[in-house]
């Protein structure tokens, strides 16, 4: 699965961070049922926004554009990174640092991608 950040020279920190996390995380297989995913997730942190687009070609991180999205994730940078790296990814949600809207199953599959590969 390929991960590409469109126009990295003009992409905000959130988009670059998501691209790096996804590239690192997807180096190792995550088990059955992860792919294929089709659709878009809008991720918002502070005043930054990034659109994560899933297609048959791979994952693309883009600047937001008009149109429907399957899901939205909104929160602080610290809440997003805690959800992706902690042993209890639900904790930022319970603390109110993150909010979700849209297709929950799509978001759960996306959350699996944000988990770091196991340490060897």
Q: What is the mean pLDDT of the chain?
A: 84
Q: Bridge-partner residues for 43, per DSSP?
A: 50, 73
pTM for the predicted model, two decimal places: 0.84
Rounded distance, CA 119 to CA 74, Å?
29
Angle at 30 between CA 21 and CA 4, to 5 degrees: 40
**DSSP conformational letter for 34:** -
Residues 6 or more apart in contact with residue 33 via CB below 8 angstroms: 109
Q: Which CATH architecture has domain 3-114?
A: 2-Layer Sandwich (3.30)
Q: Is residue 108 over pLDDT 50?
A: yes
- Asked whether the predicted pLDDT for residue 40 surpasses 70, the reply is yes
Structure confidence at residue 6 (pLDDT): 96
């Amino acid at each position: 699965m390929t991960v590409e950040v469109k126009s990295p020279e003009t992409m905000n920190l959130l988009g670059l961070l998501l691209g790096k996390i996804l590239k690192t995380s997807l180096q190792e297989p995550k088990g059955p049922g992860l792919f294929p995913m089709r659709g878009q997730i809008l991720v918002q942190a502070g005043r930054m926004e990034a659109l994560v687009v899933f297609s048959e070609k791979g994952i693309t991180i883009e600047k937001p554009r008009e149109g429907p999205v399957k899901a939205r994730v909104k929160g602080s940078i610290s809440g997003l990174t805690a959800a992706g790296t902690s042993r209890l990814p639900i904790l930022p949600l319970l603390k109110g640092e993150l909010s979700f809207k849209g297709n929950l199953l799509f978001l759960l599959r996306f959350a699996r991608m944000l988990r770091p590969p196991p340490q060897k």
